[in-house]
Amino acid sequence: MSGRKTIQVDEAQWRRLQRRARQLQGLQRNVPRLLDDVRAQTRADVDRAFATVDARQRRQDEAVRQLSDRTRHIEAETGRRLREQAERLHQELHETAGRIEEQTRQRLDGLRREAERALAAERAERRAETARLAQEIDAVKADRARAEETAQTWLADARTMAGLIERELPHERYAPGRLDRLVQRLATAGQNAAEHRFDAALALGQETFHELSDLRVDIEQRELARCLARKEAVEALVQVEALAEENRRRPVVDTDGTPVTGYSLDVAHWSGGEYDQVRQDTAAALTRARDPQTGTDALLALRDEEAPALERRLGETVERAGLRQLTSQLRVNLADVVAQTLAEVAFYDLVEEECHYAGEDERGDFHAVLRHEATGNEIRVRIAQAHPDSDQCVIHVETTDHDVTAEAELRDRADAVYQALRQEGGPMGLEPSAPVEETVLPAPASVRGSRDEAAGTTT
């Protein structure tokens, strides 16, 4: 005898729950605490990055002091400009920590443009110096001893500059192969000097030195740009990390949207691992952002693509967690309606100690048992979602008889459940359709007498 019935319930309650859960996607932002956390972490990271910059520039200053009088002044001035630029950028990034906004980025872009203008002015000065020194070459050609001394001085300065770049600067990151080519030219100039072709050695040595100096400035500028991109990437990701911590627990609301005192939504629990995965992915992205080997383009991608994507995922995860908790409560409410109805129409009493979530996990199906005191017959109610995060809940009502219940009585029970859901439709937002009979296979002889008498789907 088939006793399986299906009750369809309209989308009103589900949509209302979805709207309430969707409000959770607007991530909870305790602004003072969150900003303090982001600001503190960002400033610490900026200070670490610029401590490395400062140490590198001090070592460069030491190398510059080894240059000849002819080039030391120019390179010392270049070092001063680079140091001043780094200090200003450090101060700016320190002051703007925690302020991810367009106005801040405009100020930082202005600082970048100013640095580019300084670089252009520096290169113009170098070109003028090169032109002046080119005239000097003609003057020393007639004096062999002076030509040799001048050529060797320029070659020594060029070697010092090449060594500085090799030791201190990430030249392969920003100008792969360029230093090797200049070192080869320097070797050619040295060969010219060895062959007493001092005029050729001097010309090539001067040109190579100035190109090495340009390379030094270019790399420093690019490295400072990377520091800026790093700060912005770290800041964006730290904000996601702080938002995740801030939203790990959210206020619990009941089915009419009223906060429930003393309860909160455990997002990590209700998300089923999604929250923890967002935290892990954010931590991995932060590790990449803080890695000195991560390039500028990758940092900008972390800032502009990965951090916003992680924040969206976090919001969606919080929303789904809230919806799952709300639908868990809805399953209890539906079970209560079914239990009350069967108690009234069939005189079954609820067995409180056998009402539970599957596996004692409120994310699972809800089970309730009713027992007829006179006959010992039982009705088992199970409320389940059709699929994870589905817009359908399926109501199963299974009767276990010690005698035989007529098909008409089973249908009456299903109809009573249907009518009860209709009556509860006002406060619960439900509007079920009539029960629909489902086919079930005959039970084996050993378990005959146990059969589903009603099942329902709620949207």
Residue 210 sits in the same domain as residue 257: no
Q: What is the token pair recorded at 131?
A: 């032109």
Residue 31's pLDDT band, with cuts at 50, 70 and 90, is low
Residue 232's pLDDT band, with cuts at 50, 70 and 90, is confident
Distance (Å) of CA 327 to CA 12, 35, 363, 455: 13, 34, 9, 18
Residue 359 sits in the same domain as residue 413: yes
> How many whole angstroms separate alpha carbon 54 and alpha carbon 47?
10
Residue 64 sits in the same domain as residue 190: yes
Cα–Cα nearest to 185, from 169, 162, 168, 160: 162
Residue 231 sits in the same domain as residue 285: no
> How many whole angstroms separate alpha carbon 216 and alpha carbon 211?
9
* Burial of 293 from C-beta contacts in 10 A (0-12 / 13-18 / 19+): exposed
On the question of pLDDT at 77 being above 90, the answer is no
Q: Residue 403: which domain range?
A: 4-15+327-458
Q: What is the pLDDT of residue 447?
A: 30
Report the share of the chain in percent with pLDDT over 90: 21
Asked, for residue 281, whether it belongs to a domain, the answer is yes
Residue 55 sits in the same domain as residue 163: yes
Q: What is the pLDDT of residue 391?
A: 62
Residue 209 sits in the same domain as residue 266: no
From 319, 352, 379, the end of a domain falls on: 319
pTM exceeds 0.85, yes or no: no
> How many whole angstroms separate alpha carbon 156 and alpha carbon 145?
17
From 297, 319, 341, the end of a domain falls on: 319
Residue 9 sits in the same domain as residue 44: no
The residues with which 371 forms a beta bridge, in sequence order, are 349, 378
Q: How many domains, in total, are found in the chain?
A: 3
Buried b (16+ CB within 10 A) or exposed e, 249-259: ebebbebeeee
Asked, for residue 23, whether it belongs to a domain, the answer is no
| Amino acid in the structure at residue 340 | Q
Asked, for residue 185, whether it belongs to a domain, the answer is yes
Task: Output the average pLDDT for the chain.
Answer: 77
Distance (Å) of CA 32 to CA 38, 39, 93, 151: 10, 10, 19, 63
Q: What is the token pair recorded at 111?
A: 């600082």
Residue 97 sits in the same domain as residue 158: yes
Residue 229 sits in the same domain as residue 274: no
Report the share of the chain in percent with pLDDT over 70: 70
Residue 178 sits in the same domain as residue 253: no
On the question of pLDDT at 428 being above 70, the answer is no
On the question of pLDDT at 442 being above 60, the answer is no
Q: What is the pLDDT of residue 274?
A: 94
> How many whole angstroms separate alpha carbon 156 and alpha carbon 117?
30
On the question of pLDDT at 186 being above 50, the answer is yes
From 178, 208, 236, the end of a domain falls on: 236
Asked, for residue 26, whether it belongs to a domain, the answer is no
On the question of pLDDT at 210 being above 50, the answer is yes
Residue 97 sits in the same domain as residue 126: yes
On the question of pLDDT at 153 being above 50, the answer is yes
On the question of pLDDT at 430 being above 50, the answer is no
| Helix extents (H) in 195-306 | 198-246, 267-270, 274-290, 296-301
Q: What is the pLDDT of residue 112?
A: 66
Asked, for residue 21, whether it belongs to a domain, the answer is no
The 3-state secondary structure of 171-202 reads HHHHCCCHHHHHHHHHHHHHHHHHCCCHHHHH
> How many whole angstroms separate alpha carbon 251 and alpha carbon 176?
54
Residue 133 sits in the same domain as residue 185: yes
The sign one gets for the Cα dihedral 297, 303, 304, 310 is positive
Q: What is the token pair recorded at 411?
A: 């249908």
- Residue 150 vs residue 30, higher pLDDT: 150
Asked, for residue 24, whether it belongs to a domain, the answer is no
Q: What is the pLDDT of residue 9?
A: 46
Asked, for residue 22, whether it belongs to a domain, the answer is no
